[in-house]
Structure 1
Amino acid sequence: MNLRSLFAPTQVWGRDPSFFSVRISDPVGEGFLHENPDAPNRPKIATIRPLLGHDHSRVDTVRRANAPWLTPWDATLPAGAREELPTLWEYMRRADRDQREGHSLILMPEFDGRPVGQFTLSQVQWGAMSQGVLGYWVAQEASRMGLASLVVSYMMDLVIGELGLHRIEVNVRPENERSLGLCRKLGLREEGYRERYMNIAGVWADHVSFAMDAESLPEGGMLTSLFGKGLR
């Protein structure tokens, strides 16, 4: 029995995982990504799909390899916290259960089959709130290519435009100029400054809060607004 059969749910948000998946041939040539002169190879195929089962261990390997690049932005447990960080095994089980039950959605972009990031919609609430919080990271080899713009736009169109969630929030460190620029480029509404909002790299860090809701989503979707075409 492999890890996928142990962990991966047969459905995500009541749908087959393939519903959330897209495949883009020659993403640079098609205008969805930019060239990265520092990357060893231009991706031939980019995919975006749910991160499930054994994919968690693959992504964990990429994240560890990118630790110097990502650690300054990582969420951490504050001093004196009573809880402990879960093991990878515990995290895998919880993450897949939450996706099955509609409490989170984790998408994994890949270049030619290699994971190059993680985009997590968490704290999903339905009913009167109908919202979630989006966080993400991108591997260094995929930086400066517009990958975050592509995947965030896709998630907004998918989750708000097709699946009916009303609002997605994104919180960004004020020092993170790239993510601030991304939110503003995509037309997310800037909602305010949150002091000491989250523990990052061992300290309570301020964040700027952005959001997109159904009423603000561009006509035809965010992808069409940004690229002139969609993915589905």
Structure 2
Amino acid sequence: MGIPTLRDGEVAIRPIRLRDARALERELVENRRWLRRWEATSPHGPAAFDARAGIRALLANARAGLGAPFAIEVGGEFAGQLNVSGIVYGSLSSATIGYWVSERFAGRGVTPAAVALATDHCFFGLGLHRMEICIRPENKASLRVVEKLGFRYEGLRRRYIHIDGDWRDHFCFALTVEELPQGLLRRWRDGRVPASAATIPDQDRVAAMRPLRYP
């Protein structure tokens, strides 16, 4: 199944293309300070960034049925990326969503709209059962996205993903298709998001502030 273009007002997500490489590089350079703390890195050391090679890898992953890479647009302008990764079917039927937007679009409801559009596509277009988002405890803007959309908090994952040069703890949130008979976008726009779904227990907040101790 091809990757569609999906819209909610001025926000759209569409398949990322090789010709997006220049815009992607420009946004990453201009938003370096804004994005660096949240960028995935390699535990084996720094690697040169090649936007076209990165897009090719995402497209190859999509052709294999393992992902769905989107560009986020606002009013037709390139605004960021949303990537559905780790798609599996069968008894799990699940995937993970990651995203970023340029600083100038923050606070305008762009990211929640993009995540809702992608989640609905995964549930009702791809037939998946569960969608997951994992967020660093320090990333308040991203945590606000799952709060707005009502993703359920599922737990703390210690030293889960290599981000900004080290293994970082992440809070995990998820939704299943049974929770959204009318879709995530409609639930959000209709103001029917459960108020406490994304609440993080105090003990997990405290644990995330402490280094993981080894025997």
**RMSD (Å), alpha carbons:** 2.1
Quote the residue 2:117 is aligned against: 154
Q: Which runs of 5+ in 2 are unaligned?
A: 192-215
Of 139-148 and 196-205, more deviation after overlay is shown by: 196-205
Is 1:77 equivalent to 2:35 in the alignment? no
Is 1:214 equivalent to 2:198 in the alignment? no
User: Larger % of helix: which?
Assistant: 2
Is 1:223 equivalent to 2:188 in the alignment? no
TM (normalized to structure 1)? Answer: 0.75
Quote the residue 2:55 is aligned against: 92
TM (normalized to structure 2)? Answer: 0.80
Distance 1:96 1:57, change over 3 A: farther
Q: Residues of 1 paired with 2:77 and 2:56: CA distance?
A: 22
Quote the residue 1:8 is aligned against: none
Quote the residue 1:118 is aligned against: 81
SS in 1 for 2:178: coil
What number of residue pairs does the alignment pair up?
Answer: 191
- Per the TM alignment, residue 86 of structure 1 is displaced from its structure 2 partner at its CA by 6.3
Is 1:54 equivalent to 2:19 in the alignment? yes
Q: Residues of 2 paired with 1:209 and 1:145: CA distance?
A: 24
Equivalent of residue 140 in structure 2, options 166, 177, 183: 177
Aligned-residue identity in percent: 32
SS in 2 for 1:103: coil
Of 93-102 and 115-124, more deviation after overlay is shown by: 93-102
- Per the TM alignment, residue 85 of structure 1 is displaced from its structure 2 partner at its CA by 5.5
Is 1:139 equivalent to 2:123 in the alignment? no
Q: Residues of 1 paired with 2:96 and 2:6: CA distance?
A: 22
Q: Which runs of 5+ in 1 are unaligned?
A: 1-13, 28-44
1:29-68 matched pairs, under 5 angstroms:
45-68=10-33
